[in-house]
Structure 1
Amino acid sequence: MSIQFKELLDAAGTQDEPQRLLFLFAQIEKQDSKKHKQRQHGSVVPLMCVDKLPAELTDFSGLAAEADQVSAGWDFVLAAGLSGTGGQPPSTDDAEPHLNKMANDLMMGADLSRYVIFDRQGNPVSMQAN
């Protein structure tokens, strides 16, 4: 499924319960392969994460610029939504275990299809475990 960042924001605003958006920024760790000099091998590893209310975001470039202020070394961002209850959005504390799960899923090579993934330019990306 390919979704644009604006669609993600719009979808978060139309849910029955208020949402908190979860973002895990990841980078490519390249591994030197002396056997395969023509092919590069590596893995995608977690770098940093943040949670935001949809109202705190206007577009992808704003999120990317904020991330670059912390670390410009990211290559991808995984995104997910977390629903609130009783008309209240989840808190940052509520988001923490879900951000940890996102990081663990990435590190363990789990199925990432539950996340929307964007490259640095905001283009949707599809990742599969190898």
Structure 2
Amino acid sequence: MEISNFDDLLSAARAQSQPQRLLFVFAAVELPEDATPAQRAGFERGEGGSLVPQMCVDKAPDELASFADLKEQAALFGKPWGMVFAAAMSGAPGKVLTSADADQPLERMVESIKQGQIAAFIPFDPQGQAVQLG
């Protein structure tokens, strides 16, 4: 299934035969202080920048009705973000995954994003549309 927006992700997670836990890392897109003039110009056009994780959360698919729900919950933390990265964890038959199960995978996800290793995640813009990076 192609995931072009957040609703597609929710549908895919709900359709799985095993219980799912969705992992989210919200990242700000910032320009490094030592950026060159060309990098600054590109950043102003919406290109480049560094991804800086701001906060993370895990949810069962049935805890979110839509992207608006996730966005509303993220707003409660009061941290600006420009992109949210998503991943999913599968449980085992009869084993519902908990937030405790998601702690280490979320930590690894944050570290991966800090290192620029984002290929395993689906990035969404603030409107809930999947985006291509790189």
Output aligned runs, 1:1-130, within 5 Å: 2-32=3-33, 33-36=35-38, 38-40=41-43, 42-110=49-117, 112-128=118-134
Which stretches of structure 1, 4 residues or longer, exceed 2 Å deviation after superposition? 31-42
Q: Deviations over 1:18-51 (max 9, x none)?
A: 1011111000121243543533353011110000
Question: What is the TM-score when the length of structure 1 is the normalising length?
Answer: 0.88
Unaligned runs of 5+ residues in structure 2 are: none
CA RMSD, aligned part only? 1.7
How many pairs does the alignment contain? 127
Task: Tell whether the 8 Å contact from 1:2 to 1:125 is kept in structure 2 after alignment.
Answer: no
- Matched position secondary structure for 1:49: strand
For structure 1, which segment, 25-34 or 45-54, has the greater mean C-alpha deviation from structure 2 after superposition?
Answer: 25-34
Task: Tell whether the 8 Å contact from 1:45 to 1:107 is kept in structure 2 after alignment.
Answer: yes
Question: What is the TM-score when the length of structure 2 is the normalising length?
Answer: 0.85
Counting aligned pairs with the same residue, the percent is: 37
Q: CA deviation at 1:16?
A: 1.7
Residue identity in the other structure for 2:27: A
Residue identity in the other structure for 1:42: G
Greater share of strand residues, 1 or 2? 1
Whole-angstrom CA distance in 2 between matches of 1:77 and 1:91: 21
Task: Tell whether the 8 Å contact from 1:26 to 1:48 is kept in structure 2 after alignment.
Answer: yes
Whole-angstrom CA distance in 2 between matches of 1:11 and 1:28: 27
